[in-house]
Chains A and B, each alone.
Chain A
């Protein structure tokens, strides 16, 4: 079924590729520049590249936080946070000072600190994600697949059951989360070729 996907433009990062990916999958996708545009969407995507505090501030400034609360928490529309968009789901961020997040997923966002000095941060490139559940975002995929990452920080949820994908970079870290209608991926599905498009299609298939 054709869905209407809103890609939230809160001034953080490039949205064209996320829009193009949903268009290629045959859905309607649009960039929402004002919070009152979210009403007509069936699915909401919060992308983002950048720092936690700055992102949260921009989200608050234009009234996105209240509207997201209504659309996602009350109406139960499927929501996907990508990269910074996933990290903002946490209670607390620690990039350039301590900041409060959306607090939809109890947890903290901390810098990657691989013990092996040979591992460079940011973690950039293709890496394996092991799926905790082969349903939801990962329906129709195998036990693992390879996704594209660009990040220096990771979300550490207090409740391990929300984790549905794990990646290894010096140590295990959370690659994706799923709680009810709320999902987040640390990797960029829109840049992860066929595996990423499959994840986006699985998201679009989720009913409100």
Chain B
């Protein structure tokens, strides 16, 4: 049976791994190279890297990481791809089909676009034609206003796009997107659990898989994402400060009756 996927989302800013809160506060938590190896050893289902560096070059402001190539975001992709034998999605600062091609040639299996998809939606279709729909993931960042209305935002959560998440999701599917990565700006980093209403709105609007993200504070939160209609459940912060994050997340999903891929399934043998 096809499994529900459990996915760590890793955020990169200025070449370092960060945790994020409400899309505004970013705390440095480490070196992306070592983290990728750790996740690979954990046998996780899939990895998503998002480079959320704002415009301009990298400003490392510290020299204690002692790893070459941190100044080059795609150098990180090269290094990650060497030890990553699972589907790898790369997002951030992709502005053209050529930018996509470069990421695929360095080992990404899928790319994800957000602001570019909104400003130049033709890029979705061109990317799908060149690399197949399965390789084009559109990220949607939504903010729930105080009156309960959800709206799509772009530019790292700073610019309102004037679209409903469901409507925009349907449009990107029509243009050739193969998957949607759905984030909630107001749940980001809060640990309050997913915005289930948002996930249900988007999942029911499209037939392509939806990856739910933002808000997971406890392993029990994942099941609510699946129940709301997501094909895969993702989180960022919970992976960083807890032990055995993959195994415990999978156990919580199994307890809730969701079929997942259990990492210990593969018999160890040399």
Contacts and interface: CB of A to CB of B under 8 A. Distances in A.
Given A24-B83, A126-B2, A128-B1, A14 B109 contact: yes
Contact of B208 (A24, A120, A142): A120
A125 B109 contact: no
A66 to B, nearest CB: 28
A17 B266 contact: no
Contacts of A178: none
Given A123-B2, A126-B45, A127-B3, A194 B261 contact: no
B256 interface: no
Interface residues of B, number: 38
B5 to A, nearest CB: 6
B81 interface: yes
A198 B266 contact: yes
A198 B267 CA distance: 10
B266 A125 contact: no
Interface residues of A, number: 36
A195 B261 CA distance: 12
Given A21-B85, A125-B2, A146 B265 contact: yes
B85 A192 contact: yes
Tell me the dominant secondary structure on chain A's binding face. mixed
A128 B209 CA distance: 19
Interface string B124-144: 000000001111000000000
B5 A126 contact: yes
Interface string A165-203: 000110000000000000000000011111111100000
B2 A127 contact: yes
B87 interface: yes
B254 interface: no
A124 interface: yes
Contacts of A23: 82
**Chief secondary structure at chain B's binding surface:** loop
A122 B132 CA distance: 11
Given A24-B83, A120-B209, A191 B109 contact: yes
Interface in B10-57: 43, 45
A190 B107 CA distance: 11
A122 B178 CA distance: 9
Contacts of A17: 81, 84-85, 88, 107, 109
Contact of B231 (A49, A125, A150): A125
A192 B88 CA distance: 11
B106 A126 contact: no
B85 A190 contact: yes
B158 interface: no
Contacts of B231: 125
A16 B106 contact: yes
A193 B43 contact: yes
A140 interface: yes
Nearest to B107: A16
Given A49-B132, A128-B1, 14 more contacts: A14-B109, A16-B106, A16-B107, A17-B84, A17-B107, A20-B85, A23-B82, A120-B208, A126-B2, A126-B45, A127-B1, A145-B265, A146-B265, A148-B86
A-B pairs, 9 with minimum CB distance = A16-B107, A126-B261, A126-B3, A195-B266, A140-B269, A194-B266, A146-B261, A127-B2, A142-B267
13 contacts: A17-B84, A17-B85, A17-B88, A20-B85, A49-B134, A120-B207, A122-B134, A124-B134, A125-B232, A127-B1, A127-B2, A141-B267, A141-B269
